[in-house]
A and B are shown apart, each in its own frame.
Chain A
Amino acid sequence: MGIEGIGARVLRKEDRRFITGKGRYTDDIVERDMTHGVFVRSPHAHAKVLSMDTAAAEAMPGVIGVVTGQQLIDGAVGNIICGWMIYSKDGSPMKAAPWKVMDPEVVRHVGQPVALVVAETRAQAADAAEKIVIEYEELPALTDFSKAMDDGAPQVHEDVPNNLICDWQLGEEAATDEALATAAHVIELDLEQNRLVPNAIEPRAAIASYNEAEDHFTLNSTSQNPHVARLVLSAFYNIAPEHKLRVIAPDVGGGFGSKIYIYPEEITCLWAAKHLGRPIKWVADRTESFMTDAHGRDHVTKAKLGLDADHKFIGLKVETTANIGAYMSLFSSATPTYLYACLLAGQYTTPNIYCNVKLVYSHTTPVDAYRGAGRPEATFVVERMVEAAARQLGVSPAELRRKNFISEFPYQTPVLMNYDKADLHGLLDKGLAAIDYDGFAQRKAAAAARGKLRGIGFSCYIEACGLAPSKAVGQLGGGVGQWESAEVRVNPVGTIELLTGSHSHGQGHETTFAQVIAERFGLPTDNVQIVHGDTDKVQFGMGTYGSRSGPVGMGAIAKALDKIEAKAKKLAGHLLEADENDIVIEGGELKVAGTDKKLAWHEMTLGAYTAHNIPDDMEPGLSEKAFYDPANFTFPAGTFICEVEIDPNTGVTQVVKFVAVDDFGVIVNPNIVEGQVHGGLAQGIGQALFEACHYDDAGQLLTASYMDYCMPRADDLPNFALDHIETPNPNNPLGVKGCGEAGAIGAPAAVMNAVTDALGTEDITMPATPEKVWRAIQANRPAMAAE
Chain B
Amino acid sequence: MYATNYAKAASVQDAVAKLQAAEDGKFLGGGQTLIATMKQRLAAPSDVIDLTKIPELHGISAGPDGLTIGAASTHATVAGSADVQRVIPAVSELASMIGDPAVRHMGTIGGVLANNDPAADYPAATLGLNATVHTSKGTYGADDYFRGMFETALDEDEIITKVVFPVPQKAAYEKFRNQASRYALCSVFVAKLGNGECRVAVSGSGQDGVFRVKEMEAALNAQWSPDAVTGIAVNPDSILSDIHGSAEYRAHLISVLAGRAVAKAG
Q: Contact flags (1/0) for B195-217 with A, using CB distance below 8 Å? A: 00000000000000000000000
In contact, A650 and B253 (Cβ under 8 angstroms)? yes
Residue B59 at the A interface, CB < 8 A?
Answer: no
Chain A residues near B41 (CB-CB < 8 A): 126, 130
Residue A702 at the B interface, CB < 8 A?
Answer: yes
In contact, A123 and B181 (Cβ under 8 angstroms)? no
What's the nearest-Cβ distance from chain B to residue A527, in Å? 41
What's the nearest-Cβ distance from chain B to residue A749, in Å? 21
The interface-forming segment of B11-19, B81-89, B161-169, B238-246 is: B238-246
Residue B180 at the A interface, CB < 8 A?
Answer: yes
Q: Contact flags (1/0) for B1-42 with A, using CB distance below 8 Å? A: 111000000000000000000000000000000000000110
Given contacts A650-B256, A771-B245, contact A710 B180 (CB under 8 A): yes
In contact, A123 and B245 (Cβ under 8 angstroms)? no
Q: Which of B229-247 contact A (CB under 8 A)?
A: 243-246
Q: Which of A680-701 contact B (CB under 8 A)?
A: 690, 692, 694
What's the nearest-Cβ distance from chain A to residue B251, in Å? 12
In contact, B249 and A774 (Cβ under 8 angstroms)? yes
In contact, A694 and B179 (Cβ under 8 angstroms)? no
Contact of B243 among A130, A649, A708, A775 (CB under 8 A): A708
Q: Contact flags (1/0) for A319-330 with B, using CB distance below 8 Å? A: 000000000000
Output the nearest chain B residue to A702 by Cβ-Cβ distance.
B243
Given contacts A692-B243, A708-B243, contact A770 B179 (CB under 8 A): yes
Output the nearest chain B residue to A287 by Cβ-Cβ distance.
B40
Contact of B180 among A123, A651, A708 (CB under 8 A): A708
In contact, B3 and A123 (Cβ under 8 angstroms)? yes
- Alpha-carbon distance between A126 and B2 when the two chains are bound, in angstroms: 9
Chain B residues near A774 (CB-CB < 8 A): 249, 252
Contact of A710 among B40, B176, B179, B245 (CB under 8 A): B179
Chain A residues near B252 (CB-CB < 8 A): 774
- Alpha-carbon distance between A708 and B182 when the two chains are bound, in angstroms: 10
- Alpha-carbon distance between A126 and B40 when the two chains are bound, in angstroms: 11
- Alpha-carbon distance between A760 and B151 when the two chains are bound, in angstroms: 45
In contact, B181 and A708 (Cβ under 8 angstroms)? yes
What's the nearest-Cβ distance from chain B to residue A452, in Å? 14
What's the nearest-Cβ distance from chain B to residue A196, in Å? 14
In contact, A771 and B181 (Cβ under 8 angstroms)? no
Given contacts A707-B180, A708-B181, A710-B180, contact A771 B246 (CB under 8 A): yes
In contact, A708 and B1 (Cβ under 8 angstroms)? no
Residue A605 at the B interface, CB < 8 A?
Answer: no
Contact of A709 among B3, B180, B245, B246 (CB under 8 A): B180
Residue A706 at the B interface, CB < 8 A?
Answer: yes
Q: Contact flags (1/0) for B165-192 with A, using CB distance below 8 Å? A: 0000000000010011100000000000
Residue A177 at the B interface, CB < 8 A?
Answer: no
In contact, B181 and A706 (Cβ under 8 angstroms)? yes
- Alpha-carbon distance between A702 and B41 when the two chains are bound, in angstroms: 18
Interface range for B: 10 to 19
- Alpha-carbon distance between A127 and B3 when the two chains are bound, in angstroms: 10
Q: Which of A45-59 contact B (CB under 8 A)?
A: none
In contact, A703 and B243 (Cβ under 8 angstroms)? yes
Residue A404 at the B interface, CB < 8 A?
Answer: no
Output the nearest chain B residue to A769 by Cβ-Cβ distance.
B179
Chain B residues near A702 (CB-CB < 8 A): 243
Most chain A CB neighbours (cut-off 10 Å) among B1, B40, B246, B253: B253
Chain B residues near A703 (CB-CB < 8 A): 180, 243
What's the nearest-Cβ distance from chain A to residue B247, in Å? 11
In contact, A690 and B179 (Cβ under 8 angstroms)? yes
What's the nearest-Cβ distance from chain A to residue B242, in Å? 9
Chain A residues near B179 (CB-CB < 8 A): 690, 710, 769-770
Q: Which of A741-787 contact B (CB under 8 A)?
A: 769-771, 774-775
Chain A residues near B253 (CB-CB < 8 A): 650
- Alpha-carbon distance between A217 and B256 when the two chains are bound, in angstroms: 62
Chain A residues near B180 (CB-CB < 8 A): 703, 706-711
Chain B residues near A709 (CB-CB < 8 A): 180
What's the nearest-Cβ distance from chain B to residue A378, in Å? 27
What's the nearest-Cβ distance from chain A to residue B223, in Å? 21
Q: Contact flags (1/0) for A154-169 with B, using CB distance below 8 Å? A: 0000000000000000
- Alpha-carbon distance between A710 and B3 when the two chains are bound, in angstroms: 31
Given contacts A650-B256, A690-B179, contact A708 B3 (CB under 8 A): no
Output the nearest chain A residue to B2 by Cβ-Cβ distance.
A127
Most chain B CB neighbours (cut-off 10 Å) among A694, A710, A771, A775: A771
Given contacts A706-B181, A708-B243, A710-B180, contact A771 B256 (CB under 8 A): no
Contact of B249 among A126, A287, A692, A771 (CB under 8 A): A771
In contact, A694 and B2 (Cβ under 8 angstroms)? no
- Alpha-carbon distance between A127 and B249 when the two chains are bound, in angstroms: 42
Output the nearest chain B residue to A126 by Cβ-Cβ distance.
B41
In contact, A694 and B256 (Cβ under 8 angstroms)? no
In contact, A694 and B243 (Cβ under 8 angstroms)? yes
What's the nearest-Cβ distance from chain B to residue A450, in Å? 14
- Alpha-carbon distance between A650 and B250 when the two chains are bound, in angstroms: 10
Chain A residues near B249 (CB-CB < 8 A): 651, 770-771, 774-775
Given contacts A126-B41, A690-B179, A770-B179, contact A708 B256 (CB under 8 A): no
Most chain A CB neighbours (cut-off 10 Å) among B2, B3, B249, B253: B249
Most chain A CB neighbours (cut-off 10 Å) among B2, B3, B40, B179: B179
What's the nearest-Cβ distance from chain B to residue A320, in Å? 25
Q: Contact flags (1/0) for A112-145 with B, using CB distance below 8 Å? A: 0000000000010011001000000000000000
What's the nearest-Cβ distance from chain B to residue A779, in Å? 13
Chain B residues near A706 (CB-CB < 8 A): 180-181
- Alpha-carbon distance between A694 and B243 when the two chains are bound, in angstroms: 8
Chain A residues near B176 (CB-CB < 8 A): 650
What's the nearest-Cβ distance from chain B to residue A743, in Å? 21
Output the nearest chain B residue to A713 by Cβ-Cβ distance.
B182
In contact, B243 and A707 (Cβ under 8 angstroms)? no
What's the nearest-Cβ distance from chain B to residue A222, in Å? 22
Chain A residues near B245 (CB-CB < 8 A): 771
Given contacts A123-B1, A650-B176, contact A707 B181 (CB under 8 A): yes
Output the nearest chain B residue to A775 by Cβ-Cβ distance.
B249
Q: Which of A90-129 contact B (CB under 8 A)?
A: 123, 126-127
Chain A residues near B244 (CB-CB < 8 A): 708
In contact, A649 and B181 (Cβ under 8 angstroms)? no
- Alpha-carbon distance between A677 and B89 when the two chains are bound, in angstroms: 41
- Alpha-carbon distance between A591 and B79 when the two chains are bound, in angstroms: 68
What's the nearest-Cβ distance from chain B to residue A287, in Å? 8
- Alpha-carbon distance between A428 and B59 when the two chains are bound, in angstroms: 61
Q: Contact flags (1/0) for A510-552 with B, using CB distance below 8 Å? A: 0000000000000000000000000000000000000000000
- Alpha-carbon distance between A91 and B72 when the two chains are bound, in angstroms: 70
Chain B residues near A130 (CB-CB < 8 A): 41
Q: Contact flags (1/0) for B244-266 with A, using CB distance below 8 Å? A: 11100100110010000000000
- Alpha-carbon distance between A187 and B203 when the two chains are bound, in angstroms: 45
Chain B residues near A649 (CB-CB < 8 A): 256
What's the nearest-Cβ distance from chain B to residue A717, in Å? 13
- Alpha-carbon distance between A770 and B41 when the two chains are bound, in angstroms: 33
Chain A residues near B256 (CB-CB < 8 A): 649-650
- Alpha-carbon distance between A246 and B253 when the two chains are bound, in angstroms: 57
Chain B residues near A127 (CB-CB < 8 A): 2
A-B contacts, 28 of them at CB < 8 A, read: A123-B1, A123-B2, A123-B3, A126-B41, A130-B41, A287-B40, A649-B256, A650-B176, A650-B256, A651-B249, A692-B243, A694-B243, A702-B243, A703-B180, A703-B243, A706-B181, A707-B180, A708-B180, A708-B181, A708-B243, A709-B180, A710-B179, A710-B180, A711-B180, A770-B179, A770-B249, A771-B245, A774-B249
Given A769-B179, A771-B245, A775-B249, 5 other A-B residues pairs in contact with their CB atoms under 8 A = A287-B40, A650-B253, A703-B243, A770-B179, A771-B246
Interface residues of A (CB under 8 A from B): 123, 126-127, 130, 287, 649-651, 690, 692, 694, 702-703, 706-711, 769-771, 774-775
The 4 nearest A-B residue pairs measured at CB: A710-B180, A710-B179, A707-B181, A771-B249
